[in-house]
Structure formats: C-alpha cells, structure tokens
Amino acid sequence: MAPSVPTVKLPAGTPLPVIGLGTWKSSPGQVGQAVKDAIDLGYRHFDCAFIYQNEDEIGAAFAEKIKEGVVKREDLFVTSKIWNTFHSNQKVHEAIDKTLAALRFEYLDLLLIHWPFGYKEGGDLFPKDANDKMAHTDVDYVETWKALEEVHKAGKAKNIGLSNFNVEQVQRVVENSTVAPACHQIEVHVYLQNKKLIDFSKSKGMVVVAYSPLGSNDRPKGPGFGDFPAPLEDAVVKKIAAKHKKQPGHVLLKFLLQQDLVVIPKSVSKERLKANLEVFDFTLDNEDLNELQKLDKHGEYRACTMGQDNSHIYYPFDRKYDSSS
C-alpha cells in the first residue's frame, strides 16, 4: 500500500503534500517513467517548469495514469513556472497556455514566477546579445505578477507564487498584489539554510518549498565557493543517519521537514523515489538539529546562482557570482 504523505495548506486552503517529485534535469525518455513510478508509489505532488523542456512527456504520463484510474486530476498537485522570456503580460498568458497544453490540464494547482528578472522575449530561451552576454529585458516583475493574478482569476492557476526572489522583492510583490503570493520556492538544504528568507516568506503567509533539498553536485566551483563534500557525503550527516539507522538522504530531507518546509527531491530511480518517502518513521532530536544547523555554508554552496545574470537590476543574490558561474 502506498504511504500517505502529510500535507500543509496553502493560504486558500489547498492541501500541498510535503514531499513532491522535482523534475529539473530529468531527461526525456526517463522523466515520464519517473512520474508514473512516483504516482504508483504514492506521490501526488509534482514540480514542473516550462524551461525544463519535459512537460509534454510529463503530461503524457499523467494522462496515462488518469486513464488507468490510478489517480484523478484532482488527486494531483502540479506546479509549473513562468520562464524568463515570458515576463510581459501577453507572454505570461502565452506561457500558461503552452504549459497547460503540454500537461493536458485545464488548470495548474500552483503557478510561480521562476526568476524575478526577464530575458529578451520572442526567441531563444537563453537569448544572447551581440557580446555573447545574456540579453535581458527590464520588464518589472510586478507586471509579471499582475499577469499571474489575471491567470488566477481566469481559473487557470488555483494558486500563484514566487521562486528565487529575495526579501526586498518579496515585500514589493506583497505591497503591489491583490492576490497574495501563496508560496515561495527557493533553494534550501543543510549547506544553504536560507533562514532569513524562509522566516520572512513565512511571515507573509507563504508556504516555503525547498528545491535541491539534498544539495547539488552541479553547483559552481572556483573562487568564492568553498570546497565541501556533497551533503550526502558529509560526515555529520552520515553519523546522524547511522544513529537513526537511516540513509543520509533521509536525514537531509527530515531536517527540512521538521522546519515545516516542503521538499521536492529529484530522482528518476524507482528505488530512490521509494526511499525518499521513508522519512516519517523517525524524528531528529535537538542534538541532531543543532549539529546540522552548524553545517550552513550560506552562499558558498548555492547550486543555482544564475551568475550570468548578475548585472540585471532584479538579480536576487549576492553579485559576487561572476559570468562563469
């Protein structure tokens, strides 16, 4: 029997399972099977995005499982995100229609602005200028947010929110919204604990979703980034895992879940998908939590810097990240 995953409620009352399947960098030909395996294992929360370029395969997997009667559409909680080349009002509406067509849905459960900065619209998804730098636009993310409010009012997204915004940007959206952001999705793991941003987002009524909750081997290397082992290989994490007779991944996920965060680990392995749900039969004690809190490396272990965009007026992170990031 598939395990029952606990839920938290978004401000509008929509239940959100606290563990979902992330689909970033899940390869074509693999992601559809991963989604089907996940549904069979009990997953009901799926995190998607237009830029991942795999929503059509994911939509086919959803359609197959719905046709089989394994799930109904209303059993699923599906998130997608507006990519940087769709920040103007017209393009937001174009983007949501593309995503809904790919996923074969009439609505999303959650729609996010993927990043606060925009790219040149109407061409490549990563457009470059004459100097081979990112071709940016100065579309205000508040305009993008207003378009999301229109999408929400049209019934195409039951909830709307943000991703990768900083404290000041979150505040500005809140001050200029008629529909408050329901969720903030940000990178959070034991090496990047992001406490200030988490606490601020929660203070505004937002549920915080942690992406890359196990860390990432894809993080930038070089000056400004410490030479640390992956969190799964950290000696403290492994010691605590052995203490509880669990795997290091269980400890990393539980550390976030005990902070009332939602986690979306990515995997295409059925064994790993199953293992990621096996986190509800133990509790980290105060000693464990104190040791894990000391592992915070702050920005030195950020997996996703988008450093090529650090010249943009709306770049959300410390601008030390150079163009090679």
User: Could you report the average pLDDT of every consecutive run of 10 residues in the chain (325 residues)?
Assistant: 83 97 84 96 97 96 98 98 98 98 98 98 94 95 98 98 98 98 98 97 98 87 78 97 98 98 94 96 98 94 92 94 57
Residue 85 CA to residue 83 CA, distance in Å, equals: 6
Indicate which residues carry an active-site annotation.
52
pTM, entire model? 0.96
Instruction: Map out the domains of the chain as residue ranges.
Output: 7-222+260-278
Residue 33 CA to residue 43 CA, distance in Å, equals: 13
Amino acid 3: pLDDT: 63
Residue 290 CA to residue 281 CA, distance in Å, equals: 20
Torsion of CA 26, 52, 102, 85, to 10 degrees: 180
Amino acid 228: pLDDT: 84
Residue 317 CA to residue 307 CA, distance in Å, equals: 9
Give domain 7-222+260-278's CATH number out of 3.50.50.60, 3.20.20.100, 3.40.50.1100, 3.30.420.10: 3.20.20.100
SS3 230: coil
Q: What is the DSSP letter of 222?
A: S
Nearest CA to 321 out of 311, 138, 117 is that of 311
Cα dihedral 48, 52, 54, 55 sign:
positive
Q: Is residue 177 packed enough to be buried (19+ CB in 10 Å), middle (13-18) or exposed (0-12)?
A: middle
